Chain A
């Protein structure tokens, strides 16, 4: 069965410092992986997906199949990055998203 693990419930970094939110997954096939973000009082929304290989708001995430990881990184954190971040996995050919427990990122001014 598929599983998404985000080991850190809370993460605090200073403004301008690098940030890395960890995500590991287990799935026997080739999944699609995503990062979703929820800012205060806003709805959950897509941040980025691994197939796009793009940088959104300075964030990047590389799929490492050997380590089954999809860590989210940003070299210089900003205060507006403070939010709840969820890693999610979609099984090949399916329409269902499975989420991790989320990491609350706080960027300290």
Chain B
């Protein structure tokens, strides 16, 4: 599959569960991102990885833990979430550098915390 792929597409979890979201990109990009999309709020940038190093952590609670084992894969580990964490989580990738800053997005994972 080409582009940016996110799994699972839908996830329902209890507040005491531990789960992980996965993102994979087949575009040869060197930067990957996690965004949170809640109703009535702008897309919130959560984490940025560039060349597999975390370069931005946008004041995200520690119950969200990202992992970038290589330039093609990005995970978001979830534990002890709250109902207000229910949202659409979007992954994106781009080729960091001048002149080519287009971000390519996945379809998202719809997370519901019960």
Contact = CB atoms under 8 A, between A and B. Distances in A.
Same complex origin of A and B: yes
Interface of A: 4, 32, 43-46, 49, 86, 90, 95-102
B105 A49 contact: no
Given A95-B31, A95-B48, A96-B33, A101 B105 contact: no
A32 B96 CA distance: 13
A100 B42 CA distance: 5
B42 A44 contact: no
A19 B7 CA distance: 36
Among A43, A49, A100, which residue has the most Cβ atoms of chain B within 10 A? A43
| Interface SS, B side | strand
| Interface SS, A side | strand
B57 to A, nearest CB: 11
B5 to A, nearest CB: 10
B105 A44 contact: yes
Given A4-B42, A99-B43, A101-B42, A43 B105 contact: yes
Contacts of A45: 104-105
Nearest to A87: B42
Interface of B: 4, 31, 33, 35, 40-43, 45, 48, 50, 55-56, 90, 92, 94, 96, 101-108
A37 to B, nearest CB: 11
B45 A97 contact: yes
Contacts of A46: 102-103
Contact of A96 (B4, B45, B104, B106): B45
Given A95-B50, A95-B96, A44 B101 contact: no
9 tightest A-B CB contacts, nearest first: A99-B43, A44-B105, A101-B42, A95-B96, A46-B102, A95-B31, A43-B105, A99-B42, A43-B107
B90 A44 contact: yes
Contact of B102 (A4, A49, A96): A49
Nearest to B107: A43
Contacts of B102: 46, 49
A63 to B, nearest CB: 15
Nearest to B90: A44
